[in-house]
Chain A
Amino acid sequence: MKCKWIGSSLLAVMVAFAANPAAAEWPNDKPIKFIIPYSPGGGFDTIVRAFVPALEKALGAEVVPENIPGAGGTKGAATVARAAPDGYTIGIYNMPGFTVSTLTGKDLGFELDKVTWLANLATESYGIAVKGDSPIKTFKDLCSQGRPAKLSDTGASSTSSIVAKISFQLIDCPLVNVTGYKGSKGAMIAVMRGEVDGTLKPVSSLGKYADSGDLRIIATYTDKAMVDGAAATGEIGYGELSKFNLRRLIAAPPGLPDDIRKRLSDALLEAANSAEIKEWAAKAGVTLDPVDSDGAAKMVSEIDGFYGQYKDFVAAK
């Protein structure tokens, strides 16, 4: 199996050389490192591993995923930001996660506004799930229990916690955010145990547990309905909530030459639009949202502005 893999990458390298004899050595000097700032198994890891074969095909180069977990993703992100801008190091970034971190006054170890944005791969919508047999059927039920709604989450400064706190305040829904659970799965199991009313998580994370009947999604932070039986917040009068989402962006070190940036961005989009990736996304419940380099940079500045409005709120926690 290993031989086959070496063979196919050799073949890919040869094809790339044949097709593009005049090009500079990049990207065939050495494998391109694709850094994932989290441990294997999460949403960011899964999407990178799914994209790597398609990206290798589009670039005609070898791409190697590498997990660098730690410090809430900032360790891996800093590794990308501090690498040489030679096109051999790229990474997946959690937005608005890192923006929120800077707003809370955390030192990321790199400057978020200096990195080179290559593309956006997917935009995940948040959803609220309750226990499978919970009497709570709608967002309104959740908010009118005569006591604050209880949600479970991982850390107090995690993106979903911040989103929950800002969004519930926007719609005047009293909230107790119980944090300290291990991982998003730990937070979901707390809902199944019944000690909290629900949890706010990306719909793709909730999906499996909703399919198995352990959880039930009651609302999604979207303009239009995306899950059967769950209302879209846009349709129940909470239009502003669909602005909260989770983007999976690809970044490279600051000062990446324009030609390499363009080629990486094109290859990422080509991969995102390939049949294999589309098929994978449909199966995994991931909402692809391919946006090129310039669009991604614009997206980041919008995120900055949007969460900037809530700076005081986020900083106060």
Chain B
Amino acid sequence: MGFDLLFGAVAEVMSSGSLIYVFIGVTLGLCFGVIPGLGGTTALALLIPVTYSMEPLDAMYLAGGVMGATSFGGSITAILINTPGTAPNAATTFDGYPLAQQGKAGLAIGASATASAMGGLIGLFTLLLFIPLAKEIVLLFGPAEFLLLTLLGLTAIAISARGKLLRGLIAGGLGLFLAFVGTDMITGEERYTMDFNYLWDGIPLVPTLTGMFAISQMIELALKGGSVASGGDDGITRRITDLWSGVAAVFRHWTVLLRGSVIGTIIGAIPGLGGTVASFIAYTSTVQASREPESFGKGNIVGVIAPESANNAKDGGSLVPTVAFGIPGSAETALFLGILVLHGIDPGPTILLDNEREIYGLIVALTLSAVGASIIGLLLARWLVLITFVNVHILVPVVIAVSLTGVYVLEGKPGDVILTLIMGILGYIMIRFDYPRLTLVIALVLGDTAERSFHMTQMISDNQMWSFMLGRPASVILIVATLLTFFLPFARKLISRRARQGA
């Protein structure tokens, strides 16, 4: 049934002149994605007033175009200059940037483009399949499951810091500490705000991430000099020949693609966790499942495919709560619902019945956008790669100026700019002393949810948390997953040692 409506929506977008809105959205989304500090949320927030005078359906096409294109745009920056263009691309830097340094940026961009497009398609396909069950899926995840998911995420931190466990834990601990800053959700007390009103709402994600990655990376580059791909050896040519082998790599590693997409869809469907966590968990689980985990972080193409497929698949997932109850699954879907409100549509539990055209219009636009952005990206890759050969004296000021502007535009708070700079310096110190930066960011994201859902679970279970969780199937699955994540590496080590002894 869902598919009939989908075909109707496809026919509608093709037959009218509305395709142009999808195209404008994709172009805007790519640009906002590429620029660090700006992302899909900023693009949509700036677009809201523009859509006021448009037909609701055209506004959906525009929004879908933007949403589907930003995360691929962001991967380009992540790969080329080690700076995630949008928050969810942070995990892509781990292996994307080493590839660029080795002169294989084309391979990485090819893989990222394909993984984004395929991930987007898989996510939306899953959404269409599960629309009839959307309500049940949303009701499956209560505070107990939120708490367990954050624990799973925090466990993944320890795993991701392979070989640098202590440093990973220190960075994670610092992130958790930062997550405590702000008003306590349960008691309303202020914590560690040091009488700054700015800190009332806590430490915001986008300025932290932009500082940690964009600013610190620019400091690093400026001090090093040269250009990104001037790693010293002269063997690097400016031609990109690997683009298509990047595309092929995605299909060769189809299990990675599928796992990334499934993780992206599931985490996308859970309001509040978002793409950064989705791509991080996709990355760590891929490292874990790999037979040669030590090859990651040095330019393993699989390390690009996993987070990028999760990234785009989460858009499909984040529409699950939207079609079920008219609530947003992500910051982008919140703005999408905002656009509906501006057009006099108040989203509620019957949104799928009342606003069928808009929802399916958005799904079609997202699909076209995921594929379209990747095609545009593949076509432009040849020129984009030249960025890695630009002298840092030109690159650094441009990136710093643009990302600080981006951070300011999002909420219009000068405090965000100052925080970005502070985080930039902290990030640079972490680069120098080899501490993982994403670990801090992930802990910051998870800390707030973890604490809140811990208190909530305590209250709803009458302080019988453990037996309460064991009575919920989704919770039990998450507990098992967390235990596996934690013990699998040890078990594997043990097995390989036994095997070696046996031989």
- B142 at interface by CB-CB < 8 Å: yes
Stretch at the interface among A10-18, A150-158, A250-258, A288-296: A150-158
**Chain B residues closer than 8 Å to A192, beta-carbon distance:** 139
- B337 at interface by CB-CB < 8 Å: yes
- Whether B338 contacts A39 by the Cβ 8 Å rule is yes
- Whether A180 contacts B185 by the Cβ 8 Å rule is yes
- Please count how many residues in chain B sit with their CB below 8 Å of the partner chain's CB atoms: 37
Which residues of A from 184 to 201 have beta carbons under 8 Å from B? 185-186, 189-190, 192-193, 195-196
- Whether A156 contacts B186 by the Cβ 8 Å rule is yes
Stretch at the interface among B301-309, B344-352, B361-369, B385-393: B344-352
Q: A71-B201, A150-B459 are in contact. Are A183 and B188 (CB under 8 A)?
A: no
**Chain A residues closer than 8 Å to B251, beta-carbon distance:** none
Nearest Cβ in chain B — how far from A136, in angstroms? 16
- Whether B348 contacts A212 by the Cβ 8 Å rule is yes
- Whether A209 contacts B453 by the Cβ 8 Å rule is no
- B271 at interface by CB-CB < 8 Å: yes
Nearest Cβ in chain B — how far from A177, in angstroms? 8
- B143 at interface by CB-CB < 8 Å: yes
Q: How far is the CA of A212 from the CA of B53 in the complex (A)?
A: 31
- A1 at interface by CB-CB < 8 Å: yes
- Whether A179 contacts B186 by the Cβ 8 Å rule is yes
- Whether A176 contacts B188 by the Cβ 8 Å rule is no
Q: How far is the CA of A189 from the CA of B456 in the complex (A)?
A: 14
- A114 at interface by CB-CB < 8 Å: no
Which residue of the partner chain, among A45, A150, A208, contacts B349 with CB atoms under 8 Å? A208
- Whether B272 contacts A182 by the Cβ 8 Å rule is yes
- A40 at interface by CB-CB < 8 Å: yes
Q: How far is the CA of A5 from the CA of B453 in the complex (A)?
A: 47
- B48 at interface by CB-CB < 8 Å: yes
Q: A1-B53, A179-B185 are in contact. Are A185 and B143 (CB under 8 A)?
A: no
- B494 at interface by CB-CB < 8 Å: no
- Whether A190 contacts B142 by the Cβ 8 Å rule is yes
Q: How far is the CA of A1 from the CA of B350 in the complex (A)?
A: 28
**Chain B residues closer than 8 Å to A189, beta-carbon distance:** 138-139, 325, 327
Nearest Cβ in chain B — how far from A292, in angstroms? 28
- A41 at interface by CB-CB < 8 Å: yes
- Whether A186 contacts B327 by the Cβ 8 Å rule is yes
**Chain B residues closer than 8 Å to A49, beta-carbon distance:** 341-342, 344
Which residue of the partner chain, among A104, A182, A190, A317, contacts B271 with CB atoms under 8 Å? A182
- B167 at interface by CB-CB < 8 Å: no
- Whether B186 contacts A212 by the Cβ 8 Å rule is no
- Whether A156 contacts B188 by the Cβ 8 Å rule is yes
- Whether A185 contacts B327 by the Cβ 8 Å rule is yes
**Chain A residues closer than 8 Å to B341, beta-carbon distance:** 40-41, 45-46, 49
- Whether A212 contacts B349 by the Cβ 8 Å rule is yes
**Chain A residues closer than 8 Å to B201, beta-carbon distance:** 70-71
Q: A5-B53, A40-B48, A40-B338 are in contact. Are A46 and B138 (CB under 8 A)?
A: no
- B382 at interface by CB-CB < 8 Å: no
Which residue of the partner chain, among B200, B344, B456, B462, contacts A147 with CB atoms under 8 Å? B462
Nearest Cβ in chain A — how far from B207, in angstroms? 15
What are the 10 closest A-B residue pairs judged by CB atoms, nearest first? A208-B348, A40-B338, A212-B349, A195-B460, A2-B53, A41-B341, A180-B452, A178-B459, A156-B188, A157-B188
Q: Report A's interface with B, CB cutoff 8 A.
A: 1-2, 5, 39-41, 45-46, 49, 70-71, 104, 147, 150, 155-157, 176, 178-183, 185-186, 189-190, 192-193, 195-196, 208-209, 211-212, 214, 284, 317
Q: Report B's interface with A, CB cutoff 8 A.
A: 48, 53-54, 138-139, 142-143, 185-188, 197, 200-201, 271-272, 325-327, 334, 337-338, 341-342, 344, 346-350, 452-453, 455-456, 459-460, 462
22 contacts between A and B (CB under 8 A): A39-B338, A41-B341, A45-B341, A49-B344, A70-B201, A71-B200, A104-B188, A156-B187, A156-B188, A179-B186, A180-B185, A180-B186, A180-B453, A180-B455, A182-B272, A185-B326, A190-B142, A190-B143, A208-B346, A209-B348, A212-B349, A317-B188
